[in-house]
């Protein structure tokens, strides 16, 4: 499967194809779980220094577009 975006990749060789932030082994789901659990974006970024603020925001914006697009 091709990259979902410039920030998110799905590669069978990385965590079995789980979507991760490009250049890391940090699952995208970790961001959503962190925010859902009440952590701030800053707290997430502190826990995953390989993910930049720009990467996290781009991933959230892409998720918003996917959820709001009409199929």
CATH (domain of 24): 1.10.10.10
Q: Mind listing the pLDDT tens digit for each residue in 14-69?
A: 999 999 999 999 999 999 999 999 999 999 999 999 999 999 999 999 888 888 87
Closest CA to 28 of 1, 11, 69, 38: 11
pLDDT of residue 71: 54
Closest by alpha carbon to 8, among 25, 28, 29? 28
Note the pTM of the prediction, 2 decimals.
Answer: 0.83
Which range of residues forms the domain containing residue 37? 8-68
How many domains does the chain divide into? 1
Up-side HSE of residue 38: CA atoms within 13 Å toward CB? 0
In this structure, are residues 27 and 18 in contact, taking their beta carbons and an 8 Å threshold?
Answer: yes
In a domain, 2, yes or no: no
- Whether 3 maps to a domain, the answer reads no
């Amino acid at each position: 499967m091709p990259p979902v975006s410039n920030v998110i990749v799905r590669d069978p060789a990385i965590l079995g194809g789980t979507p991760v932030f490009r250049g890391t082994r940090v699952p995208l789901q970790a961001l959503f779980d962190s925010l859902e659990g009440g952590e701030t974006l800053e707290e997430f970024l502190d826990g995953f220094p390989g993910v930049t603020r720009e990467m996290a925001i781009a991933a959230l914006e892409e998720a918003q577009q996917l959820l709001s697009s009409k199929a």
